[in-house]
Amino acid sequence: MEQTVVILKPDCVVRWLIWNVIQRYESLGLRLIASSMENLTEDLLKEHYAHLADKPFFPKIVSYMTSAPVMVQLWEWENAVAAVRKANWATNPAEATPWTVRWDYALTIDNNIVHASENLEDARAEKERFFSWISVVQYT
């Protein structure tokens, strides 16, 4: 069983798209085991996006990700990491396949609705980063 972290970004929250995205993952049979509305801090974003810190668009990411609350979610099921990334599709919505989350809802590469763990190692680190103070449940 895998776990993967999803962040529903500020544009997802303020455009009332939370349930639309949740529905995509639930329809794949994934199980939501933790969730919380959070205001992300610049320090946390610097850690989360450390691999992008030297990119010219990094300040834009920080101002966008702190512009409104996000919903952090932990999803569980077999192949959860790949299943969620496939449901979301490309980072840039212009390259997304039809009927995926980003094709349907994302507007630009900056306002791209959702973040999902890239691989199992990232998923473990992101779980540690975002869910150390949020309760995680278990059910069948």
Stretch that binds ligand CMP, among 69-77, 78-86, 109-117, 128-136 (CB under 6 A): 109-117
Positive or negative CA dihedral for 18, 21, 24, 28? negative
The smaller minimum CB distance to ligand CMP, of residues 89 and 131, is found at 89
Residue 112, interface with ligand CMP (CB under 6 A)? yes
The smaller minimum CB distance to ligand CMP, of residues 14 and 52, is found at 52
Segment 53-60 long-range contacts (CB within 8 Å, at least 24 positions apart) = 57/110, 60/110
Please report how close the Cβ of residue 112 comes to ligand CMP at its closest, in angstroms.
5
115 is known as an active-site residue: yes
| Matching residue, tokens 């974003």 | 45
The smaller minimum CB distance to ligand CMP, of residues 10 and 139, is found at 10
CA distances from 45 to 51, 64, 81, 87, 100 (A): 11, 11, 21, 24, 26
The catalytic residues are 115
Give the binding site for ligand CMP (CB under 6 A). Answer: 52, 57, 61, 91, 109-110, 112, 115
